Every structure is written in structure tokens, then in C-alpha cells.
Amino acid sequence: MGVRLSSAVTVDPNRRDMLFILTGAVAAVGAGSLVWPLVDQMNPDASTLALSSTEVDLSAIAEGQIITVKWRGGPVFVRHRTKKEIDEAANVNLADLKDPQADKDRVQKPEWLICSGVCTHLGCVPLGHEGEFGGWKCPCHGSVYDTSGRIRQGPAPLNLPVMAYTFLTDTKVKIG
């Protein structure tokens, strides 16, 4: 009874060892190719990927107005900034900022601020035209953002992220 899986004293690997190793290798490749689809099916599917970019018509947004657009399941702020708001955003000492970033590095056209609407603290959606800096204020824990979407007060660590977007025309922008 019982089976010796390989000879007790092995100097050269024998044929049986080779067969075992080959079988094991094929089984490992088989197992990997079996597991990958089971895991990959949870990744974003084709219909979700198709929604990964959104077009926004800017012509209806008045000066001073902020609209919120849904992109990849979350809010994106599109703000048509007034001259006052652009100047306030530009004239800031970078040393005062928790997350230093110049306003010109955050916009393509200065009158259009397009950034994520997710507070970088714990994910609530900040309220527009609130807070001392005229930008946004988050109702959850009091983070305050300025007219460039940069964090000024409160527990949030980073500025509102700016994602990739392209101006298709002067009045149409594609986000993502």
C-alpha cells in the first residue's frame, strides 16, 4: 500500500519527476486562465466604459453660474467664472495654500473652471457660492474651497481634482 512519489535518493531527476512538474505547470496555467475571467468580470463592463466621457453644452451657463454634471457616476462642477472670481483666484500667494497650485495650472480657459465635485476629505459634494472665498463649502465637515476649487480651510487635504477635458468648440466641452 502507499506510493513512493519519487526515488528515495535522487541525483538525476527521473522521468516521473518530469511528468509531475509538467503536469503541475499545465495545471497552473489552466488554473490561471480559469481564474482570470472570474475576476475580470467584476471590472467595469463595456456599457460603463462607454459612459466614461460626457459632453457638456456651455452656451446655457450664465456668467457666475455653476452647474453640476454627472460623470463616471459622480459630480463635476462646471463654473462660468466672473472677472472678479478669476482675479481672486489668480492673486493668491501660493505659500498660503495647503495644496499649492496656481490658478492658471488648473484651467484651460480662465472663464471656465471644470473640476471634480467630490470633497477630497471624505467624499461629500460641496455647496456652491458658499464659504468665505466665494467658491464652495462642504456641509459635512466644513472644508472651504476658493473660486479655483483649491482647499483653503477645513480638514480636506487636497484641491478639487481637475480631470482631463477638451473643448470641442467654444461652447462644447468633452469631459473624460
Q: What phi and psi, each to the nearest 5 degrees, are found at residue 64?
A: 90, -10
Residue 42 sits in the site that holds another protein (CB under 8 A): yes
Residue at 146: amino acid letter: D
User: Using CB under 8 A, which of 24, 45, 57, 98 touches another protein?
Assistant: 45
Segment lying near another protein (by CB under 8 A), choices 45-53, 62-70, 129-137, 156-164: 45-53
Residue 25: its H or E element? helix 15-40
Closer of 32 and 95 to another protein (Cβ): 32
Residue 38 sits in the site that holds another protein (CB under 8 A): yes
Sign of CA dihedral 118, 122, 125, 130: negative
State in angstroms the smallest separation of the CB of 29 from another protein. Answer: 14
Residue 32 sits in the site that holds another protein (CB under 8 A): no
Residue 2 sits in the site that holds another protein (CB under 8 A): yes
Place of cell 535518493: 9
What Å distances lie between residue 103 and 9, 94, 146, CA to CA? 74, 10, 10
State in angstroms the smallest separation of the CB of 142 from another protein. Answer: 38
Query: Which of 58, 159, 46 has the alpha carbon at shortest distance from 106?
Result: 159
For residue 141, indicate whether it is catalytic.
Answer: yes
- The binding site for another protein (CB under 8 A) comprises 1-3, 37-38, 40-43, 45-48
